Structure 1
Amino acid sequence: MAQLVWLITGCSSGFGSAFVSEILTRGDLVIATSRNVDKIAHLSQSGVTLLQLDVSNSQESLDKTVAAALEVYGRIDVLVNNAGYIATGSWEDVKEHDLVTQFDINVFGPVRVTKAVLPHMRARKQGTLVFMGSRSGWYGDPFCGPYSGSKFALEGMVESLRWETAPLGIRTLLVDPGRFRTGFLSSAGNLGIAESKVDDYKEPYQTFLGYLAAEDGQQPGDVAKAVKIIADVVRREGSAKDAEVPFRLLLGSDCFDTVKEKCEETLKVMKQWEGIIKSTDL
């Protein structure tokens, strides 16, 4: 495959940083972005182009940022919507502002960035859109409602986009990782913790936060292995060579188990209730 130009959001750590390293080994070109360019300044030593990009900015602002990115190499072949945020708390404790922030970064942010890139890909009749979903887009863990809700929403938005743009030559890849060993849970900028003021929730919520603290740095997933597979799928090489490339790519044994269990449970309910489900037709 010819050399590709990748535009990646959220490159200061975790998957974003790993994406940059992996893509460079493929001989491709990278435009790395972050809310704070100083945090990714070291990447310029590897020939990476750096741009300031905050997915929560206005559509007009992001249109200008993408226009600047297009001036670098004249094209964008792959867009990776990677920037993310996680808000925790019970339904009663989470404030509306927390919910709005959660959806603004995890849903509306990718929508705005993608809308800025789509006219370019549509004009060229080619390009690949990569979205980082989550195991939480399949299963709502307690006290993780805002995050799960945003990922469930992203799943639906991206699936719709897939059908709209596939006839135009644009590929869409939705990646659903499980628990991977990044600094996502330890970063104050990526993790929001609501204060619990309801006695009934305080103890279980503290238990949940204790679980997150213990999980930080101990997640079972290897980020380097994950981004290698994603790059293979985008480039149709390595593990994806001659394979039927999926729209939705699950990564991680924990994600596999969760999704398998949910699918089996759903099929069981559908079988048991099939007659009643179908009885509502006119």
Structure 2
Amino acid sequence: MSSSTSVPITSTRPVWLVTGASSGLGLEVAIEAAKLATVVAIGRDHHGLELAANAGCRTVELDLRASAEHVSSVIADIIKTAGRVDVLVNAAGYILEGAVEETSDAELEDIFHTNVFAPIRLARAVLPHMRRTGAGVIFNVAGIGGFSGSPNAGAYCSSKAALATFTEALQRETGPLGIRVCLVQLGHFRTAFLKAGHRLHTALRIVDYDPVLDPLRKAFNGLDGHQPGDPGKAARALVHIASSDADSIPTLLALGSDVVPAELSAHEAKRQAFLAHDTWTNSMGFDA
């Protein structure tokens, strides 16, 4: 952990914890939120954290794939120093490309540690404080990939689907306690998400899958740098919403014009698949 949080925070401004603050949406949110809050920017890339620090954020260098004990200890130290935590933004995440058969256990564990286990651990770490105060906001950033299982990105899609389902359960558990949890479904934004270092590939490559996966690899290449979403606008929207009255914070927030069509398309495909075999579906009860 860096030493930039070692000095007690005495400001009365709200305190934000933002993960994934080395790049992408996390960095944009940290910079935007620093205009009105004390921001603790969390990331594993010190170069990216320098940008957050230059914007006035306090920084913590942390690999979210570390043990649950270590992550919890770091967050406990932050809360002790800050004295409070008002908003947690779980924006860290990356994509792993490859067929399901090509994906190793270690690669699968790594992406789930970052995209699923870390947000859950961080939420658990801040919830005792939020429960004591009867207030707080948690944003979990999932995304368009979690709506259905895409070839070449099964690990990523399933991790984002898992995070979305956990978030929905958390909403129903914490809402009555005064804690707001928002599931952010993010579309395609022009960040470094599809660039080397963020877009990883399975070590194993099985050539039999190339005819299936090559078109998708080319599509990812073509999308990089041409995503329709402006991450600065997404950050400003999220910060504005977080600063609103608690009752107006949504449980589900779609950021990007491509999100709703993608979700509706995935839903309709499943509905049609169900209806195609509804004779079986509706004939499973006991006979009279």
TM over 0.5: yes
| Whole-angstrom CA distance in 1 between matches of 2:103 and 2:222 | 23
What residue identity is the alignment partner of 1:226? A
Give TM-score, length-normalised by structure 1: 0.89
For residue 253 of structure 1, give the secondary structure of its aligned residue in structure 2: coil
Query: Between Structure 1 and Structure 2, how many residues are aligned?
Result: 275
**Structure 1 partner of 2:148:** 139
How far has the Cα of 1:265 moved from its partner? 3.9
1:13 corresponds to 2:23: yes
Note if 1:178 corresponds to 2:182.
Answer: no
> Does the alignment pair 1:4 with 2:4?
no
Residue identity matched to 1:62 = V
Deviation, 1:275, is 6.8
Q: Residues 38-57 of structure 1: matches in 2 within 5 Å?
A: 38-57=47-66
- Identity between Structure 1 and Structure 2 (%): 33
CA distance in 1, matches of 2:100, 2:233: 35
- What's the CA shift for 1:4? 2.1
TM-score, normalising length from structure 2? 0.87
Check the 8 A contact 2:94/2:199 in 1, yes or no: yes
- Alignment partner of 1:56: what SS? coil
Contact 1:87 1:193 in 2 (8 A): yes
Q: Which amino acid aligns with 1:255?
A: V
Deviations 1:120-168 (A, max 9, x none): 1111111111100011111222111000010111111111111111111
Distance across 2 between alignment mates of 1:7 and 1:147: 24
1:254 partner amino acid:
D
Q: CA deviation at 1:206?
A: 2.9
Contact 1:135-1:176 at 8 Å conserved across structures: yes
Query: Does residue 1:256 correspond to 2:270, yes or no?
Result: no
Q: 1-side partners of 2:251 and 2:124: how far apart?
A: 19
SS of 1:87's partner is strand
Q: Which runs of 5+ in 2 are unaligned?
A: 1-11
Map 1:17-166 → 2, pairs under 5 A = 17-25=27-35, 27-166=36-175
Distance 1:4 1:271, change over 3 A: farther
Counterpart residue identity of residue 52, structure 1:
E
1:21-68 Cα distance to aligned partner (Å, 9 max, x none)? 22123x122111111334312433333111122211112211221122
Per mean C-alpha deviation after superposition, the further-off stretch among 106-115 and 267-276 is 267-276
Give, in whole Å, the separation in 1 of the partners of 2:105 and 2:168. 27
Aligned pair in 2 of structure 1 residues 82, 275: CA closer, same or farther (>3 Å)? same
Give 2:199's match in structure 1, choosing from 188, 191, 206: 191
